[in-house]
Structure 1
Amino acid sequence: MIIKVCGMREAENIREVEQCSMLNDQCSIDWMGFIFWPKSSRFVSEVPAYLPEHCQRVGVFVDASIGDIMSAVNNFALHFIQLHGQESPSYIIQLKSHLPVGIKIIKALNIATADDLPQTKPYEGIVDYFLFDTKGKCVGGNGEKFDWTVLDVYAGCTPFLLSGGIGPDDAERVLNFHHDKCIGIDLNSRFESAPALKNTEEIKRFFEELNKKRYE
């Protein structure tokens, strides 16, 4: 299971989160996200003094210009582009033509009911992953959950990550969700002491609960 921690900004906190992941031999943070939307309280306006060396880097954008995305790709050495706005399939095709080979695209889609799932269809074969998030939430994380059971009817070919208010007490909920296209989870605001400042003790506790409940 891929574990992605989003909304990072502070150099020392980035280092601490990365290190607490490396101390656990059964759970690890695979991807670390940086938010490039100026309206977010987790907006990254400059390159931190330390960037993760053992996690792949995800840039989160909302209806950004291709030029702005390319600037972040170069400055942060991004491995993934996560799109949270109204980006059309044609825009994504154009964006891909500018990206270095190997950078993958995640399209975030807001979900409340099964009626929201048909919005995935125009992006099939164009994006590499979906991220299913809470409908109506602000970009960058506000801790709101949605009912993951609506994803039972998702029949697309594109793998996805779960998001939407996952917190330290949700290990059992995560492990009880099963879908053959679900590849991981996205952690953000419910693991924070303040916006863009992750609580490493809460992350460690979550990992411990995942390990414990996995073998109960």
Structure 2
Amino acid sequence: MSDVKVKICGLSTEETMEAALEAGADMVGLMFFPKSPRHVSLSKACKLADMARGKSEIVAVTVDIDPDGLSRIRELVNPDIFQFHGSEAPEALAAAKVMQGARVMKALSVAEREDLERAHYYSIVADWILFDAKPPKGSELPGGNGVSYDWTLLKDLDLKKPFLLSGGLDPSNVADAIRQSGVSAVDVSSGVEREKGVKDSELIRAFMAAAKSA
């Protein structure tokens, strides 16, 4: 078994949360973005977070949310990490770390090598960087679109902070992605769904097995 960390993102049911936890997910992501088919209410998120607490790191995924919204999530769900998946500036991450007393992760869109440059600014503040594919034209979702990019762009990237590879991963290609990129952490959402926004327990287990054995 490898020591690759795996984040299963956009979980929204107790059954699929259970599958992710039993399969050994290192991080579980709860989506707080009403436009997303994976969005969960605060009350639902509380139940799911309670299942995961102490077993996996709970990541609250947000998109350009205001400080009051962050505080409500902090108060009710108490995540380990806030993920910022919008156009948030490094200063917003720094403020959230202080005000919410939690670690922060910044998602950045990648299509070519130049897109990695911004990561150095964010890595000063962020505890994790997540490299996702650029969304297709016209998509309202910043992530979870099932599109990929050249994984070799991340090879030998020296950020001084841990980072995850995301975008277009599924059980059939994750091992190859890990080999090509050399990353030690991966993130999946649409690649373990049977239809948009609906996770599949079998696909979660298959992804976990493939990533951990890479």
Distance 2:92 2:209 in 1: 41
Task: Give the equivalent residue in structure 2 for 1:86.
Answer: 87
Which residue does the alignment assign to 2:26? 30
- Report the CA distance between 1:140 and its aligned residue: 4.3
1:126 Cα deviation (Å)? 0.7
Larger Rg over CA atoms: 1
Counterpart check, 1:206 vs 2:202:
no
CA RMSD after TM alignment: 1.9
2:99 match:
98
> What is the Cα deviation at residue 157 of structure 1?
1.6
Residue identity matched to 1:59 = A
Post-superposition shift, 1:209?
A: 3.7
Counterpart position of 1:124: 123
Q: Secondary structure at the match of 1:108?
A: strand
1:5-154 aligned at under 5 Å gives the runs: 5-19=8-22, 21=23, 28-48=24-44, 49-51=47-49, 52-53=52-53, 54-100=55-101, 103-137=102-136, 138-152=141-155, 154=157
Deviation for aligned residue 1:13: 2.6
CA–CA distance in 1 between the matches of 2:27 and 2:212?
Answer: 19
Q: In the alignment, which residue of structure 2 is the partner of 1:162? A: 165
Counterpart for residue 25 of structure 1: none
- The residue type paired with residue 129 of structure 2 is F
Q: Distance in 1 between matches of 2:142 and 2:207?
A: 23
Residues 8 and 120 of structure 1, relative CA distance in 2, 3 Å threshold: same
1:121 is displaced (CA, Å) by 2.3
Q: Deviations over 1:152-175 (max 9, x none)?
A: 363322210000011010143134
Q: Distance in 1 between matches of 2:187 and 2:193?
A: 13
CA separation in 2, counterparts of 1:71 and 1:150?
37
Size of the aligned set, in residue pairs, is 202
**Contact persistence 1:40–1:140 (CA under 8 A):** no
Q: Contact 1:60/1:82 (CA < 8 Å) preserved in 2? A: yes
Aligned to 1:43, what secondary structure does the other structure show? coil
Identity %: 29
Tell whether the 8 Å contact from 2:132 to 2:143 is kept in structure 1 after alignment. Answer: no
Q: 1: CA distance between counterparts of 2:204 and 2:106? A: 25
Report the alpha carbon displacement of residue 11 of structure 1 after superposing the two structures with TM: 2.4
Distance 1:38 1:85, change over 3 A: same
Asked if the contact 1:10/1:196 (under 8 Å) is kept, the reply is no
Amino acid at match of 2:74: V
Q: What is the TM-score when the length of structure 2 is the normalising length?
A: 0.85
SS of 1:166's equivalent in the other structure is: coil
Query: How far is 1:207 from its partner?
Result: 3.6
